[in-house]
Amino acid sequence: MGNPYRILIVEDEPSLRLVFRTALQSDEYLLTTAADGETALSFLEQDPADLVLLDLRMPGMDGLEVLRRLREAGNEVPVVILTAHDSVPNVVQAMRLGAIDFVSKPLTPETLRRVVAEVLARHVQGEPRPARAAGAGRPPDALSSAKRALNHRLFQRARGLLRMAIAENPDSPEPHYLMGVLHELQNEPKAASRAYQDALQVDPNYEPARLHRMKFDTGKRA
C-alpha cells in the first residue's frame, strides 16, 4: 500500500466532523480535522493536503475567507465546499477562488465518498501517486474535464467541455447548472439565467439551479 491521500476536514460542528471522518475512514486516506478557519490555515502551512473539505459557514473566519487566504498564499489545493440546504453559497465568488465542487448538508456517507474520489481522480490525473482514488484509472468524461478546466480558470475550454457534457448526459441537470455558473463568471446574467432554467427543466428539484435561479427572480422584483 502506498502513501495515503491527505484530506483536511474543516467543520465547526463536532458531530459532523465525526460523521465525515467516519464516512471517509480508509487505508487510502489520512484524515485531519479542524474546527475553525484559523486552525485549518495553520495545519495547511505545516503540512500540505491533497484535498480540503471546507464548511462554508463557520464562526469567525468563514469558508470563503479561508479559501481566499489559501489562494493568496499560492496554495492551489482542491477545495470542496460544504454547505447547508438553507444557505445559498456564493458559487461564483468561490469559483473565482478555485472551488468547483459543492456538497449540500445533510449528505449521505456514500455521496461524500463519491465526491472525494471524483475530485481526487480529477486532480491527480497524470500525476504519479503511490495510492489511487477509486475510479482514478478511468479516462475522464466531459463533465469531469469541464470541472478541472473551471478549477484552473480555463473558461473557454470549460464552455466547450460543458457543451459536450450536456450532449453526453441529456438527463443530468449538473452540466446545465455549471454552464450557468460559467456564464455568471463571465458576466453574462441572461445566459446564466437561461442555463439554470435548462437545468430545472431536466430536474425541477435540482436545488443548486433552483437557488441560483431565484437570485435573478429576486433581482427582477427589486
**pLDDT tens for residues 103-152?**
777 788 998 998 899 888 877 654 434 344 444 444 468 888 888 788 77
Please tell me the distance from the alpha carbon of residue 93 to that of residue 215, in angstroms, as a whole number.
14
187 and 93 belong to one structural domain: no
Residue 170 · residue 185 · CB < 8 Å: no
Q: What is the pLDDT of residue 127?
A: 46
- If we measure between CA atoms, which residue out of 136, 148, 139, 151 comes closest to residue 28? 136
Domain end point (choices 137, 171, 186): 137
Q: Which of the 8 DSSP states describes residue 125? A: T
Confidence category of residue 32, pLDDT binned at 50, 70, 90: very high
Domain that holds residue 190: 140-222
Total domain count, the chain: 2
* pLDDT higher than 80, residue 102: no
- If we measure between CA atoms, which residue out of 37, 66, 32 comes closest to residue 48? 32
Q: Give the CATH number, domain containing residue 53.
A: 3.40.50.2300
Task: Kindly state the percentage of the chain with pLDDT values over 70.
Answer: 84
170 and 104 belong to one structural domain: no
161 and 192 belong to one structural domain: yes
70 and 167 belong to one structural domain: no
99 and 165 belong to one structural domain: no
- Its pTM stands at 0.73
Task: Sheet containing 29-34: give its strands across.
Answer: 29-34, 5-10, 51-55, 79-84, 101-105
